[in-house]
Structure 1
Amino acid sequence: MSVGIRHDDLRRRNRAMVISAVRRAGQPSRTEIAATTGLSHSTISAISSDLIQEGILAESKGSETVSLKRGRPQVGLCLNPEAAAVLAVVLSLNFLSVAVIDYAGHVVAEEQRRLDTLTMSRDELIDECVAIVRRRIEDPDLDVQSVARIALAIQGITDSHARAMLWSPITPQTNIAFADILEREFGIPAIMENDCNMMAVALRWRDPDRYRDDFIAILLSHGIGMGLVLKGELFTGTHSSGGEFGHMIHLPGGALCRCGRRGCVEAYAGNYAIWR
């Protein structure tokens, strides 16, 4: 039994490596994927054949180029855009957006709305988030069955385990379990996370050679946020916001921060602090 489990885990890992290699390279050949992943050519052939049959990958005939070497031209593999889609929702100060992103990473539809987040009630904030997602899902051009996940990014302190926004400078409302609310409403798996944590993860996926083991992603806007990666893993701390250095104390008893404390880094370096 244990051998079977290890074999399944290995197979899933190898499949993920192949998909990741295709996503990062665009239209690599099987030979290029083997060189990138270190997997054997026979393994690459078997995995790519399965993924093509499942509709996850496709052969990109247009990528054939005239080779200076003898033999058949290499045929590139690409991600099938129709394999799945993700709804990416971003809630920030006075702004709400949603984008439909296909499996190849292309934005196929989006919507943006201006809101007065600082004065909205809890129910109004939730209703706006649900409504903007509903409009995308009800778009006749979108295959709802292809939507694999709803992902919500938000500025502030989050708890990814509780799937909730605990506190955010964009609203006086607290402890809103956005992920559970969206999942119940649409029956689609949902996650929510601090926006800077998502930025750090995205950077690592986009350029793993540059963003590999230890790095930080800093967002300077109305507030200050940070995503922290240590030893190749996102560092989240107890409540998924371990990198929130904007609310570390810079000067005890200093300027008043939006979080209610005094002396935070953000109270001196956030754009509202600079304006002040």
Structure 2
Amino acid sequence: MKKFYSLLSVLTLAVLMCSCVSTKKIVYFQGADSLYTQAQQVLQQYEMKLKPADQILVKVTCSEPDLLSVFAQDVVMGTSGGGRATSSSYLSSGASGGMSNAYGYTITNDGYVVLPSIGKVHVAGLTTVDAAKTIEEKIKEVNHISDPGVTVNLLNARVAVLGAVKSPRVVSLTSERNTVLDVLSQCGDIADTGLRQKIKLFREVEGQRMMYEMDLTKSDVFESPGYYVQQNDLIYVEPNKSQSIKSSAFYTFWTAGATIISTLATVTSMIFLIKNN
């Protein structure tokens, strides 16, 4: 009987060990309290650059509304910050000759957008600010508008998150400065069974797929090229070994067997006590 109880204790301990997670494996930014006692300069460039297949919305403003009629009929009157009367218009995405849809213009594979009354403008590889400046110069050249103001917004910036997070999903980016932590927080954070030491980020760079691996338990994660995310990134959180074991058929069989053995041991003990009494 003693041997039987010893075996049962070993089985129970093994099951419990499979479900334990060390605190050191889930605490973020370990060592940051000593490393960042003084202000640290942010060295990474976090501005997203436009890529083929991105969708952009283009807004044009100027002081004379009649000049905007060549772009679209949706003209809005207003005033600038200095009180000067201005007009604005979103470039019509229904104009012929432009690769567009109801949500904006899609950048072609060779990096261009075709805008009404302006023509082809190369914007791939530029930030939204630089793309706006490029379109402004094109408007001055083609349409002879002396004071155009252009705003470019990226419409379909998204990041996919898979693996051991609480809510895997595709996250829409609401600004051009988003970190891997921002994205993971929108997924409910990493699950306790996820490896915070092995966060993999996949990114397309000039036609090639790059992979950056980050350790969120280390304070130097801020220096990683993958810390600031870009549109179309893929983030994968690897599960730890205990999660892999729990997902296996062997673990299911093991836990079921341990439960049965524990139940039998309880029943046997009760029978043994009854007989002795």
Q: Which TM class, normalised by the smaller chain length?
A: under 0.3
TM-score, normalization by structure 2 = 0.21
Q: Which has the higher contact order (CA 8 A, sep 6+)?
A: 2
TM-score, normalization by structure 1 = 0.21
